[in-house]
Every structure is written in C-alpha cells, then in structure tokens.
Amino acid sequence: MIVETVELTPEDAQKLLNASQGSRQRVLRKSLVERIEHAIRTGQWRETHQPIALNADGVVIDGQHRLTAIARADRPVMVMIARGVPDETFDVIDTGAARGPSDVLTLGGFTNAAQLAAAVRMMLAYDVVVGSTDSFGSVRKLFTSAEILQAAQSERGSELERCLNATRVTSLSLGRAGFAPWL
C-alpha cells in the first residue's frame, strides 16, 4: 500500500469516481456530500489522517462522498490517497461512531450539547434563509461541526446557551423535563 498527499482537482476526483462506477459502494448520502462541498467552498476543508482508499485496480473503496463533494465544489483540495488497499478492508472501514456536532460541543466544554447543537444549527439556517427562497430543511444540514462549534463560541451562541439553561430550569421546575427542547 502506498499513501501520498496530493492536490486533488475536481477533474481528478471525477475520474476516480468514473473508474469506480458499478463497484460495491454505500448509497450516496446527498446531505453528507452537500456538507463536505459546503466545507470546501467556505474554506473549512482540512486534510486529515484519513485517506481516499483505492484498491489495486484504482477503484474507490473509501471516499466516494469526499470525492463527489470535491468534484462538485469545483476547487482543488489537499488529500491523502492510499493506493493498493486490499479489497478485504472494505468490510471494516467506517464501522466506528461518527463524531457529530454535539460530540464536538461536549469536547469544547459545553453542557446540554445536543440541544445547543440543534439550536445553533437552526440559528445558522435562519441566517441563510432570511430574505431567500430557501427553506430550513434545505439548508439545516449544510453546517459542519466546526461551524457549529465556532457559532456556539460566539456571542450569539453564548446567548443561546443561556436560554437553553433557562428553559431547562423552567421545565424541571414544572416537572416536565421533556419540555426543555420545545421551550
């Protein structure tokens, strides 16, 4: 197996996808591709330790969502590519838990991370849809965990966190803990 860091162009990403058509792949999740594409377009893309994995025939066995987003974002990015990855590894790739926005907020020291992540996501979606024809549903999953953390650390995020704490106290005093997310 050979691992290298390369600047991958949208055209090269599309070539890798084309070479992999008809191979065993997961169903492409539109919201995930859109989130990665958004990260690329807004300068949030970061090269990580996780390479795009190609088997000995050059078929993608890990990375179709990233490659699709790179091709659609129409911007080159730095990625690691592992070539000659044994086909048998396909069954054990991505079997761990994904790190979501609430995990990132918890690691950032926030309490009520799940509620705060949802509230921040809605705040960011509101900023996008106001004055446009977009709907909340069409934009709410665009935001990366990094964007949600950054927004939670902002003044507006601090205000949201204070409101969430107040709703938690109110709902607990009413004896209805389930009201907190609704409030």
Give the pair of three-digit tokens for residue 22.
């008809």
113-153 tens-digit pLDDT: 888 898 898 899 999 888 888 888 888 778 888 889 999 99
How confident is the prediction for the chain on average, in pLDDT? 87
**9 CB-contact burial (10 Å; exposed 0-12 / middle 13-18 / buried 19+):** middle
3-state secondary structure of 62: strand
Residues 170, 183 contacting (CB under 8 angstroms): yes
Instruction: Report the percentage of the chain scoring pLDDT > 90.
Output: 46
Q: Which residues pair with 5 in a beta bridge?
A: 80
